[in-house]
């Protein structure tokens, strides 16, 4: 079932990329097409280090809980560990999956990929 979901997401990312003329969605789709073991795995400490206040961050892979967040962010990822979700919410940041971000921001305004 999971494979069907990710294939659907990849197709949707490519479609929106063409419709909105936004290459970042195509880039995220190509990252998600990689085998699971080659997808990005990012700790909160890395996100905190490279993101600025109020950034929207996309992780085309999994977010793990190592580290802390000390400024407000919106983080979209394919998956989150349970502990990472808990820390994100406790720090006042917003966590969402990639389809939610795609729906809210199809033009990909002020989105950065971290990986």
CATH, residue 36: 3.100.10.10
Our count of domains for the chain comes to 1
pLDDT value of position 17: 95
Enumerate residue ranges in the chain where pLDDT < 70: 1-2
Q: With beta carbons less than 8 A apart as the criterion, state whether 37 and 61 touch.
A: no
29-49 per-position pLDDT tens digit = 999 999 888 989 999 999 999
- Give strand ranges (E) for 3-98: 40-43, 56-64, 74-80, 94-97
CA distances from 27 to 13, 18, 49, 72 (A): 9, 12, 22, 25
Q: What residues make up the domain containing 103?
A: 2-113
How high is the mean pLDDT of the chain? 94
Q: Within 10 Å of residue 95's Cβ, how many Cβ atoms? A: 18
pLDDT value of position 66: 97
pLDDT value of position 3: 85
pLDDT value of position 2: 66
* Residue 80, Cβ density class (10 Å: 0-12 exposed, 13-18 middle, ≥19 buried): buried
């Amino acid at each position: 079932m999971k494979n069907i979901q990710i294939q659907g997401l990849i197709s949707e990312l490519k479609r929106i990329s063409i419709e909105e003329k936004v290459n970042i969605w195509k880039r995220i789709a190509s990252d998600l097409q990689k085998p699971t073991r080659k997808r990005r795995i990012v700790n909160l400490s890395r996100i905190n280090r490279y993101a600025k206040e109020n950034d929207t961050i996309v992780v085309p892979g999994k977010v793990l809980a190592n580290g802390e967040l000390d400024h407000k962010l919106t983080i979209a990822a394919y998956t989150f560990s349970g502990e990472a979700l808990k820390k994100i919410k406790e720090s006042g940041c917003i966590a969402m999956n990639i389809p939610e971000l795609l729906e809210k921001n199809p033009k990909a305004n002020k989105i950065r990929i971290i990986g």
